[in-house]
A and B are shown apart, each in its own frame.
Chain A
Amino acid sequence: MSEPEDFEQRLARLSGATNALRPSAGFSARVMLAIEHEAAPSFLETTWFSARRLLPVAAIATAMAVLWAVQVDGSVDDELAASYASMELE
């Protein structure tokens, strides 16, 4: 009767037998696809970067719009005041 395989012998045998393991076909291509996916910016990132670039332009446009609104508001007030004054004279 043969001796039962000891601990280290069993490890060595299984190590030798699993040495032949290798990745399945196309594994490397799948990894590179995942890397490409990782490297490509997501929709949110793209939107955020585009939006960030437009931020100064949007800020200037908003400031100009407020300025214009204040000016228009002022001139309307002047015109109303003038029309009230002429009505009072009449």
Chain B
Amino acid sequence: MDTLEKAVDRVLSGDRSAFQQIVDATSQKLVRLGARIMGNQADAEDVVQEAYVKAYRALTAGEFDRRASVNTWLYRIVVNGAIDAKRSRTRRAESSDEQVDPGWDGAARAEARLALSELDDWLQALPAEQRAALVLQSMEGLNNTEIAQVMGVSEGAVEQRLVRARATLRQKREQS
């Protein structure tokens, strides 16, 4: 049993502090995933925070059935939250007074933000589900079976979303 599964067991037995372990172990990749889908780190943090609260609520209500791994389950909550938020929310301006992690190199941060902005502009033309599928495949390295599990759809639906996403982006490139 891995560390995350053990932490889940501790949360289930009433140890709320064990949830901190889950957050510490997963927040970096979940925020990165959220940012790639949302195109904005501040919105991504909102989505991921909401996802953790939903996950905690589901855990304590006994709704996590362990059919998927903790990682896949968290990915699913974040992706669904990001798709919903992307559909409904207007983009939040990045705040300049945001607290920066002191351990994070400033140049790397600036480069990452620039790349995120470029990615957001590029993928703007895609519907949220297609964008999420493309990010999961090409940036998170998931295969179609894993994407289907995360998105709660068939592999055929995943394939269709990816084909459409690529076609839209190629068409956009030819037009420009």
Contacts and interface: CB of A to CB of B under 8 A. Distances in A.
Interface of A: 7-8, 10-15, 17-28, 30-32, 34-36, 38-39
A21 B19 contact: no
Given A24-B45, A31-B48, A31-B53, 7 more contacts: A17-B112, A18-B115, A18-B116, A24-B99, A27-B27, A28-B20, A35-B19
Interface of B: 16, 19-20, 23-24, 27-28, 31-32, 35-36, 41, 45, 48-49, 52-53, 56-57, 60, 98-102, 104-105, 108-109, 111-112, 114-116, 118-119, 122, 134, 138-139, 166, 169-170, 173
A35 B116 contact: no
Contacts, number: 99
18 contacts: A7-B170, A7-B173, A11-B134, A14-B118, A18-B116, A19-B112, A20-B108, A20-B111, A21-B31, A21-B35, A23-B27, A23-B31, A23-B101, A25-B99, A25-B100, A25-B101, A28-B23, A38-B53
Identify whether the interface residues of A are mostly helix, strand, loop, or mixed.
helix
Nearest to B56: A35
A43 B90 CA distance: 33
